[in-house]
């Protein structure tokens, strides 16, 4: 059994992580860390765990975590992650980081989009980006894996085969992303109050959402070209689920069936990407680690539809996928029977 700790244990992604890990045959949760005081029992924070996990959420130091765990899942906000992760690594703990702190290669880009000077810049560019469907072979040897953003995975998985195949123009891509409210986290804010979100839909952070440089970075490497997307997130009146509707220009004449074949080839032997022929609904993937994708041709354009559960494939599920690869377990362990 691998002993695992979860930092930032009070949030929504952490709850999903706990639920997945409780079903994982090779993982044992040994520590829950929070920056809150008072050591609340995890069942008081997450009542759905009643009777399932008997741990308190403690304000643990990196040293305390390293004593108790072999692998740490870091579900902290950005900035808080890079404050603690170097110490976890120094203490011998492997880390799956769910924050944005180690996703970008360039400290300057980080500073531009996050408004913070990166305090661990030498690891940027040297940390594996944990999207196993793209770079599974890079993950096994890693002590630190940067788990992708939820919008990012959903967007990249929909676009990678087309970019890799040079089928679409890399600078005429419009990603219209629609997310459930859990993606905004569990800290009370007016914008995510029930009566503000319910029975309403609206865009936010147009042209400046922080997942944009991440999408561009990964796809540019995938396509060996400069990819520059327009990314527009929207808040939907639902708990969870992301649908990215992606408008692209085809570079050559190609039919829908051929595009679907390109996608199936690209994701051959990738157990969590399902290329489907129908228009997928976010509900089809709720509670699972799947990303369902299809494509439609309208005139000279290809429209990609890609959906995930933002808390699973977009956060906790892919984190466990990365954990499995880091630990040498089967990629689907704990995620599929």
Select the residue interacting with a second copy from 152, 286, 306, 322 (CB under 8 A).
286
Contact in structure between 69 and 9 (CB atoms under 8 Å): no
Residue 56 phi, psi (nearest 5): -95, 160
Exactly one of 57, 93, 150, 291 is catalytic; which is it?
150
C-alpha dihedral, 94 to 72 to 124 to 229, nearest 10°: 130
Measured distance CA(250)–CA(300) in Å, rounded? 6
* Residue 264 touches a second copy, criterion: CB under 8 A: no
| DSSP string for 22-79 | HT-TTEEEEEEE-SSSS--BHHHH-GGGTTT---BEE---HHHHHHH-SEEEE-PPTT
- Nearest CA to 323 out of 8, 7, 24 is that of 24
In the bound complex, what is the minimum distance in angstroms from residue 154's beta carbon to a second copy?
A: 12
The yes-or-no answer on residue 307 being catalytic is no
115 scored as a contact of a second copy (CB under 8 A): no
* 29 scored as a contact of a second copy (CB under 8 A): no
Radius of gyration of the chain from Cα atoms? 19
Q: Which residues within the stretch 52-91 sit at the binding site for a second copy (CB under 8 A)?
A: none
The interface mask with a second copy, positions 222-261, x = CB under 8 A, is: ------x-x-x-x-xxxxxx-x-x-x--------------
Determine phi and psi for 215, rounding to 5 degrees: -60, -45
Residue from 263, 285, 316, 335 binding a second copy (CB under 8 A): 285
Q: How many residues bind a second copy (CB under 8 A)?
A: 69
Which residues would be at the binding site for a second copy (CB under 8 A)?
12, 22-23, 47-48, 50-51, 174, 176, 178, 180-182, 186, 188-190, 192-204, 206-207, 228, 230, 232, 234, 236-241, 243, 245, 247, 274, 276, 278-288, 290, 292, 296-299, 301, 303, 305, 307, 337
* Active site members: 150
């Amino acid at each position: 059994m691998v002993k695992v700790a979860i930092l930032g244990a009070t949030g929504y992604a952490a709850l999903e992580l706990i639920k997945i890990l409780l079903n994982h045959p090779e993982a044992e949760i040994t520590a829950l860390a929070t920056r809150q005081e008072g050591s609340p029992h995890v069942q008081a924070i997450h009542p759905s765990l009643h009777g399932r996990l008997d741990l308190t959420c403690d304000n643990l130091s990196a040293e305390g975590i390293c004593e108790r765990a072999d692998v740490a899942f870091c579900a902290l906000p950005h900035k808080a992650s890079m404050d603690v992760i170097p110490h976890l690594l120094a203490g011998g703990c492997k880390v799956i980081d769910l924050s944005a702190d180690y996703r970008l290669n360039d400290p300057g880009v980080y500073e531009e989009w996050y408004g913070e000077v990166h305090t661990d810049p030498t690891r940027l560019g040297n940390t594996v980006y944990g999207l196993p469907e793209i770079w599974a072979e890079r993950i096994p040897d890693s002590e630190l894996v940067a788990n992708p953003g939820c919008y990012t995975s959903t967007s990249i998985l929909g676009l990678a085969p087309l970019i890799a195949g040079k089928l679409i123009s890399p600078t005429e891509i419009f990603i219209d992303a629609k997310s459930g409210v859990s993606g905004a986290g569990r800290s009370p804010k007016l914008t995510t109050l029930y009566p503000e979100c319910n029975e309403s839909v609206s865009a936010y952070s147009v042209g400046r959402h922080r997942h944009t440089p991440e999408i561009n970075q990964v796809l540019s490497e995938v396509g060996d070209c400069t990819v520059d997307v327009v990314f527009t997130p929207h808040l939907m009146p639902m708990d969870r689920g992301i649908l990215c509707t992606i408008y692209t220009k085809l570079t050559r004449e190609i039919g829908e069936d051929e595009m679907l074949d390109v996608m199936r080839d690209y994701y051959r032997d990738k157990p969590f990407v399902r290329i489907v022929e129908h228009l997928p609904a976010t509900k089809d993937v709720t509670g699972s680690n799947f990303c369902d994708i299809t494509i439609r041709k309208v005139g000279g354009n290809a429209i990609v539809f890609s959906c995930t559960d933002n808390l699973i494939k977009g956060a906790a599920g892919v984190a466990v996928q990365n954990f499995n690869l880091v630990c040498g377990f089967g990629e689907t362990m704990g995620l599929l029977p």
